[in-house]
Amino acid sequence: LQSKLPNVGINIFSRISKLANEHQAINLGQGFPDYNMNPQLAQYVNEAMQKGFNQYLPMEGYLPLRNAIADKVNKAYGCNVQPTTNITITPGGTYAIYCAITAVIQTGDEVIVFEPAYDSYIPNIELNGGKVVPIKLEHPTYAINWEQVAAAVNTRTKLIIINTPHNPSGSILSAHDMQQLDKIIAGKDIYIISDEVYEHLIFDDHVHESVLRYPRLASRAFVCFSFGKLFDCTGWKIGYCIAPEILSAELRKIHQYNCFSVNSAMQAGIAHFMQHNNTYTQINIELQKKRDLLRQLIKDNTPFKLLPGKGTYFELYSYAHFSQLTEIEMVHALIKNCGVAAIPVSAFYSHAPVDNKVIRLCFAKKEETLQEAAQRLKGCE
Ligand code: GLN
């Protein structure tokens, strides 16, 4: 068989989680909470199953869930999203991004991707015959240099993928960034995918600048979200995509022949939960406590140096000042010698190898997990 993805192996999250399990390491690598979700949500899903939500729901998603999402985003971002035409429930944010890329990209189309980039974007583009135009975020702020973007845009540019809050760096886009993006695509046939799965994980009073706040941008955008990140249930694989009617229709053509419709009981349970819980401020408060704890623990117990982020449940730590190991060597050493797993940021660069000696740690963990990880990292130089 001639591989359609000859340069792709098993992804970094699977590899590191497997290695972490083999070495009984504390997994601060792959992004998932080690605590359970709100029990009420689990109860509502359970009730939904008892009530008979066990067969297919409509392809676009359960309407009460789409209604609840429309209420949420319209209130938060001052937009006018319609549940029927603009919202599609998907099996996870990553899948929504895949469908959006597949809906837009034809052979030879160029896609601007900012690196480090979440690892699914580039294989998704290449699978669709697109050409990746990588632009490096500035190190160590991981900000976008818009002059570089303007210079990279040409008549073949079809899509720009943005991600705020940004995985893996935790950087966020500002209103100024959105204005720059708007200027660059004005009058051009360029679409946007905005990966906003960490919309609620934003700290220190920063505001999430959703594309949905910017009508001109939103009119050309697929905005992708994740319930896994919102409700601490990454393994449920459920999210949604918001897009203008024409774009949603194209996305649904792909979705209907891949997954058709998303897990019924989860959709019904989440809809019920959102009808009763419609404030989302507590998420940041809880996560910020964990972030601050990890910061303090790493500072007090290890030589790693923080590269401060503003959002997501990840933080980047540099070791350039005390080790010459490559990131992948460092991560392997940490797993094997200290029993703590992290993700090498080099895994988020595809084309040119970049090794800034930075690792990503996930802090969506119980306090005792973070404490134990810090103990294990003590003296690990
Ligand atoms: N989004 C998660 C992360 O960055 C992992 C997703 C996955 O395992 N594919 O860690």
pLDDT tens-digit readout, 178-201:
999 999 999 999 999 999 999 999
Decide if pLDDT at 231 tops 90: yes
311 and 270: one domain?
Answer: no
341 and 237: one domain?
Answer: no
pLDDT by residue (tens digit) across 72-120?
Answer: 999 999 999 999 999 999 999 999 999 999 999 999 999 999 999 999 9
Q: What is the CATH number of the domain that holds 170?
A: 3.40.640.10
Q: Ligand 1 pocket, 167 CB below 6 A?
A: yes
What pLDDT shows up at residue 279? Answer: 85
Q: What is the mean pLDDT of residues 254-261?
A: 97
Whether the model pTM is above 0.90: yes
Q: Ligand 1 pocket, 30 CB below 6 A?
A: yes
Domain end point (choices 276, 295, 319): 276
pLDDT by residue (tens digit) across 129-144?
Answer: 999 999 999 999 999 9
183 and 67: one domain?
Answer: yes
- Report the mean per-residue pLDDT for the chain: 96
101 and 248: one domain?
Answer: yes
303 and 251: one domain?
Answer: no
94 and 52: one domain?
Answer: yes
* Structural domain includes residue 4: no
Q: What is the mean pLDDT of residues 279-304?
A: 94
What is the domain extent for residue 112?
Answer: 39-276
* Structural domain includes residue 183: yes
Q: Ligand 1 pocket, 234 CB below 6 A?
A: no
Q: What percent of the chain has pLDDT over 70?
A: 99
Q: CA-to-CA distance for 227 and 207, rounded, in angstroms?
A: 19
What pLDDT shows up at residue 352? Answer: 64
Decide if pLDDT at 381 tops 80: no
What pLDDT shows up at residue 282? Answer: 87
Q: Ligand 1 pocket, 31 CB below 6 A?
A: yes
pLDDT by residue (tens digit) across 338-361?
Answer: 999 999 999 999 866 799 999 999
Q: Ligand 1 pocket, 130 CB below 6 A?
A: no
Q: Atom 2 in ligand 1: which residue has the minimum CA distance?
A: 31
C-alpha 32 – ligand 1 centre gap (Å): 8
C-alpha 269 – ligand 1 centre gap (Å): 24
Q: Tell me how many domains the chain contains.
A: 2
Q: Ligand 1 pocket, 13 CB below 6 A?
A: yes
* Substitution candidate for ligand 1 out of 27, 32, 225, 345 with most atoms within 8 A of CB: 32
Q: Which atom of ligand 1 is nearest to the CA of 31?
A: 10
287: confidence class by pLDDT, cuts 50, 70, 90: very high
159 and 271: one domain?
Answer: yes
* Structural domain includes residue 5: no
* Structural domain includes residue 321: yes
